[in-house]
Amino acid sequence: MDQDNHVLLKWNEIRETIESLELDVVKSARGVAAAGIRARKGLRILKSKAQELVKLTLETKTKKEDKEDSN
């Protein structure tokens, strides 16, 4: 269950990142250059966090399969 908690914590972190990007994305769409820079930076961070979540879910899946195989 510990791994499940890590997955959910990472997911919540991603959701918070998305929420924090919303204002800059809207401002960027309206033509504010500085907001565009912040939005792109935030999107790169989001991409990194998403990759971490994928890795974490794969590790969780592998550990569950290993545990089932040993039983």
Does the predicted model carry a pTM greater than 0.85?
no
Burial 37-68 (b: 16+ CB within 10 A, else e): ebbeebeeebeebeeebeebeeeeeeeeeeee
Q: pLDDT exceeding 90 applies to what percent of the chain?
A: 75
Structure confidence by residue, pLDDT tens digits, 40-65: 999 999 999 999 999 999 998 888 88
- Across the chain, mean pLDDT equals 92
pLDDT at 71: 67
pLDDT at 17: 96
pLDDT at 18: 97
